[in-house]
């Protein structure tokens, strides 16, 4: 008999408990961001006051700015590299062992525990004496942004028939024109989707940034963490809620954009 | 008529260096100006590879491809005055029909006004005047096919290449497009090279046909030559139905096999019945018959044990297992190498 989870007593309950365990804290954070009191455990009434306060906090402002600079930079550079890699590896010109090696190398940041990358990157930067402030963070982010940008682009390339660029060349387009007018427009949804995933991964990264960010270069997640150590306030809840809403928006956008079919 | 395209000893290898496969094997042929030329053969015979070699989408390993006397074998696809209608049409999904049709001219840096005019003319030629602003996904298969044709023809290529272009259409539409293609070829006076595995399509549309067999040309000739005077059993079998029986079975004093088409034989069902034209007559037993409307096929096992098919316009009053005779038209016997 096939095992159907619906027939197993208690399975549904465990599922709901698991979901509650994962998501209730998030709802609690959001709920208490609207608390009028200073405490994050006692509800005192509804208020919007923590949102303007969080937005007006200079530390949070500076950290948000850092986050955006790093995320935009890492997204742009990481996506360009991922696009180049996807185009190069898609064609028949690359031997299979080289392809496999390239895939693995690119996917490494997804497979290796983040703390390992964080520590090795920190040690590496120290060893070569790289002290460029926010640029250090940017370089570290580019590396792990590449695989996130690469996956949707590669998936997209695979759906474009070879006859598309052949037809373009048959119609007098040279290599660059065929890419510019046919391949690139067809790839655009994949590129956008990959860029958004890279962006959100960079924006939300904590461990690597915590290790490699020199003083003054901390990003929003790191800044929130350091504030939490001094005590949770509804201000932090408000900042976290805004970050969460923004993240969900970007991920949804990425999903919707890449859902559109080529043909 | 002079030759538009001459292919001289072209060979194309595929596969690895240790295990090369000759997709096109030392092949030579000529295509004349303003000709409807068909490359016919089963899948894997190299006909599509040959087409791609002409288009420049593959490069040949040896040999020459002369277009109006100039060797184009070394030119990339975008430098050849040749356009292709792809099997899958390969319309650009992110461009309107008009932009698809204008793509070739715009890549050549033609003036925007000229492109607009030529695109409108091409749409008119296809009777699709109102479809310029649509996207390919909004068109039916037949309409997409016509846009693909317009996109290629608008460039006035020296040769139009068509790769199994009708195979994705349903039967009725395919018949209409066959007539449409002939009309277009007449009106544009462009040389067409058409690749197909459908022998009926090849016979009805072509000025000349090259039947391909394992990367080589089995026979090159007019549809009538190919059908009535096939040079090999391969060609005879590939084009239509062809019966082959040993010559002695027909009472002929020669060796080898004799071929005949089903319609070049008559089924005699009565004792003493004489055929209209005197020729070899063989005895046998009716095995099966299948009625196709305009024609009925009778499958007969000869006394020699060989099975042949005879076609008649009428449904004859005869049943399975009856003793019958098959009378052959002596002028229509096919003698060819096996």
Is position A206 within any domain? yes
**ipTM given for this complex:** 0.84
Number of domains in chain A: 1
Is position A6 within any domain? no
Q: Is A107 exposed, middle or buried (CB count within 10 Å of its CB: 0-12, 13-18, 19+)? A: middle
For residue B119, is pLDDT > 90?
yes
Among B90, B110, B156, the residue to mutate for chain A (most A Cβ within 10 A): B90
Q: What is the rounded CA–CA span in Å between residue A140 and residue B121?
A: 57
**pLDDT band at residue A240, thresholds of 50, 70 and 90?**
confident
Q: Quick one: average pLDDT of B149-172?
A: 91
Question: What rounded mean pLDDT belongs to chain A?
Answer: 88
- Look at A172 and B107 and tell me if their CB atoms are within 8 Å: yes
For residue A79, is pLDDT > 80?
yes
The CA–CA distances, whole Å, from B296 to A200, A243, B245, B289 equal 71, 78, 21, 7
Instruction: Give the tokens for residue B130.
Output: 């109102």
- CB-based contact B141:B173 (threshold 8 Å): yes
Three-state secondary structure string covering A200-213: HHHHHCCHHHHHHC
Res A47: pLDDT: 85
3-state class percentages of chain B: helix first, strand second, coil last, to nearest 5: 30, 35, 35
Cα nearest neighbour of A183 on chain B: B92
More confidently predicted of B336 and A147: A147
User: What residue segments make up the domains of chain B, in order of their start?
Assistant: 3-238, 243-332
Residues 6+ apart with CB under 8 A from A143: A78, A109, A117, A121
Minimal Cβ distance to B88: which of A161, A168, A181: A161
CATH number at residue A233: 1.10.3720.10
Res A19: pLDDT: 92
- Among B193, B179, B190, B167, which Cα is nearest to B47's? B193
Cα nearest neighbour of B79 on chain A: A172
Q: What is the rounded CA–CA span in Å between residue A140 and residue A125?
A: 10
- Among A134, A247, A262, which Cα is nearest to A197's? A247
Strand partners, B259: B244, B334
Q: Quick one: average pLDDT of B172-183?
A: 88
- Look at B78 and A163 and tell me if their CB atoms are within 8 Å: no
**pLDDT band at residue A94, thresholds of 50, 70 and 90?**
confident
For residue B141, is pLDDT > 50?
yes
Question: What rounded mean pLDDT belongs to chain B?
Answer: 91
Res A6: pLDDT: 66
A174 three-state secondary structure: coil
- Look at A172 and B94 and tell me if their CB atoms are within 8 Å: no
- CB-based contact A29:A228 (threshold 8 Å): no
% of chain A surpassing 90 pLDDT: 47
The model's pLDDT over B292-315, given as tens digits with 9 standing for 90+, comes to 988 999 999 999 999 999 998 888
The whole-angstrom distance between B73's CA and the closest CA on chain A is 15
Instruction: Give the tokens for residue A159.
Output: 């759906």
Is position A48 within any domain? no
- CB-based contact B35:B222 (threshold 8 Å): no
Instruction: Give the tokens for residue B184.
Output: 């277009």
B36-40 and B191-196 beta bridge pairing: parallel
Among A159, A163, A171, the residue to mutate for chain B (most B Cβ within 10 A): A171
Please give the CATH topology (third level) of the domain spanning B3-238. Rossmann fold (3.40.50)
Is position A127 within any domain? yes
Which chain B residues are Cβ-neighbours of A174 within 8 angstroms?
76, 78
- A vs B, Cβ pairs < 8 A, gives 64
The model's pLDDT over A7-48, given as tens digits with 9 standing for 90+, comes to 777 888 898 999 999 999 888 888 888 888 877 677 888 888
More confidently predicted of A213 and A39: A213
- CB-based contact A187:A257 (threshold 8 Å): no
Q: Quick one: average pLDDT of A194-214?
A: 92
Q: What is the rounded CA–CA span in Å between residue A132 and residue B67?
A: 62
- Determine contact: B20 vs chain A, CB below 8 A: no
Is position A254 within any domain? yes
- Look at B90 and A169 and tell me if their CB atoms are within 8 Å: no
Compute the C-alpha angle B103/B197/B187, nearest 5°.
Answer: 45
The DSSP annotation for A21-36 comes to HHHHHHHHHHHHTTBS
The model's pLDDT over B76-94, given as tens digits with 9 standing for 90+, comes to 999 999 999 999 999 999 9
Q: What is the rounded CA–CA span in Å between residue B184 and residue B125?
A: 8
- Determine contact: B57 vs chain A, CB below 8 A: yes
Q: For B46, what's the count of Cα atoms within 13 Å in the CB-facing half-sphere?
A: 24
**pLDDT band at residue A2, thresholds of 50, 70 and 90?**
low
Segment holding A111, helix H or strand E: helix A96-111
The model's pLDDT over A110-141, given as tens digits with 9 standing for 90+, comes to 889 999 999 999 999 999 988 888 999 999 99
Which chain B residues are Cβ-neighbours of A163 within 8 angstroms?
86-88, 90
For residue A263, is pLDDT > 50?
no
Q: What is the rounded CA–CA span in Å between residue A84 and residue A103?
A: 13
Q: Is B45 exposed, middle or buried (CB count within 10 Å of its CB: 0-12, 13-18, 19+)? A: buried
- Among B35, B58, B39, which Cα is nearest to B47's? B39
The model's pLDDT over B199-242, given as tens digits with 9 standing for 90+, comes to 989 999 999 999 999 999 999 999 999 999 999 999 998 988 89
Among B59, B93, B118, the residue to mutate for chain A (most A Cβ within 10 A): B93
B208-213 and B36-40 beta bridge pairing: parallel
Is position A12 within any domain? no
- Look at A169 and B155 and tell me if their CB atoms are within 8 Å: no
3-state class percentages of chain A: helix first, strand second, coil last, to nearest 5: 75, 0, 20
Query: A152 is in which domain, residue-wise?
Result: 57-258
Q: What is the rounded CA–CA span in Å between residue A201 and residue A75?
A: 9
Is position A90 within any domain? yes
Looking at domain B243-332, which CATH architecture does it have?
A: Beta Barrel (2.40)
**pLDDT band at residue A236, thresholds of 50, 70 and 90?**
confident
% of chain A surpassing 70 pLDDT: 95
Res A258: pLDDT: 72
Cα nearest neighbour of A186 on chain B: B94
Is position A195 within any domain? yes
Res A3: pLDDT: 62
Dihedral sign, Cα of residue A231, residue A232, residue A234, residue A240? positive
């Amino acid at each position: 008999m096939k095992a159907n989870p619906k027939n197993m007593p208690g399975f549904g309950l465990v599922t709901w408990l698991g979901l509650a365990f994962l998501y209730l804290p998030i709802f609690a954070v959001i709920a208490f961001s609207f608390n009028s009191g200073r405490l994050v455990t006692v509800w005192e009434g509804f208020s919007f006051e923590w949102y303007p306060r969080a937005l007006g906090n200079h530390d949070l402002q500076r950290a948000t700015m850092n986050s955006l600079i790093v995320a935009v930079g890492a997204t742009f550079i990481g996506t360009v590299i991922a696009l180049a890699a996807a185009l190069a590896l898609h064609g028949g010109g690359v031997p299979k062992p080289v392809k496999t090696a390239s895939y693995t190398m690119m996917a490494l940041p997804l497979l290796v525990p983040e703390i390992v990358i964080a520590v090795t990157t920190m040690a590496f930067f120290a060893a070569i004496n790289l002290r460029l402030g926010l640029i250090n963070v940017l370089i570290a982010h580019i590396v792990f942004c590449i695989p996130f940008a690469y996956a949707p682009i590669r998936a997209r390339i695979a759906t474009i028939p070879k006859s598309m660029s052949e037809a373009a060349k048959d119609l007098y387009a040279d290599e660059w024109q065929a890419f510019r007018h046919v391949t690139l427009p067809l790839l655009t949804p994949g590129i956008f989707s990959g860029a958004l995933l890279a962006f959100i991964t960079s924006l939300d990264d904590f461990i690597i940034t915590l290790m490699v960010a020199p003083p003054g270069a901390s990003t929003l997640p790191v800044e929130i963490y350091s504030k939490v150590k001094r005590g949770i306030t509804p201000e932090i809840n408000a900042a976290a809620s805004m970050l969460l809403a923004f993240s969900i928006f970007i991920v949804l956008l990425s999903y919707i954009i890449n859902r559109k079919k080529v043909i | 008529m002079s030759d538009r395209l001459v292919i001289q000893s072209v060979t194309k290898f595929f596969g690895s260096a240790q295990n090369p496969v000759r997709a096109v094997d030392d092949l030579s042929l000529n295509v004349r100006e303003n000709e409807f030329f068909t490359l016919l053969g089963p899948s894997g015979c190299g006909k599509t590879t040959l087409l791609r070699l002409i288009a420049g989408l593959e490069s040949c390993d040896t040999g020459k491809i002369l277009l109006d006397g100039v060797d184009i074998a070394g030119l990339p696809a975008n430098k050849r005055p040749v356009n292709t209608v792809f099997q899958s049409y390969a319309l650009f999904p992110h461009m309107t029909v008009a932009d698809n049709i204008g793509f070739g001219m715009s890549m050549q840096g033609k003036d925007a006004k000229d492109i607009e005019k030529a695109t409108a003319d091409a749409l008119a030629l296809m009777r699709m005047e109102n479809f310029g602003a649509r996207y390919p996904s909004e068109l039916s298969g037949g309409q997409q096919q016509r846009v693909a044709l317009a996109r290629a023809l608008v460039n006035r290529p020296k040769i139009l290449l068509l790769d199994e272009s009708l195979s994705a259409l349903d039967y009725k539409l395919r018949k209409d497009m066959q007539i449409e293609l002939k009309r277009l070829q007449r009106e544009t006076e462009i040389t067409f090279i058409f690749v197909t595995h459908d022998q009926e399509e090849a016979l009805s549309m072509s000025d000349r046909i090259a039947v391909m067999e394992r990367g080589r040309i089995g026979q090159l000739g007019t549809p009538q030559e190919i059908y009535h005077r096939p040079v090999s059993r391969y060609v005879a079998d590939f084009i239509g139905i062809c019966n082959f029986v040993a010559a002695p079975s027909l009472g002929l004093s020669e060796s080898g096999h004799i071929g005949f088409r089903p319609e070049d034989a008559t089924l005699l069902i009565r004792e003493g019945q004489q055929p209209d034209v005197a020729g070899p007559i063989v005895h046998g037993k009716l095995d099966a018959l299948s009625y196709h409307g305009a024609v009925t096929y009778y499958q007969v096992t000869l006394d020699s044990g060989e099975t042949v098919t005879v076609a008649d316009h009428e449904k004859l009053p005869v049943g399975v297992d009856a003793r019958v005779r098959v009378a052959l038209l002596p002028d229509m016997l096919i003698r060819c190498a096996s």
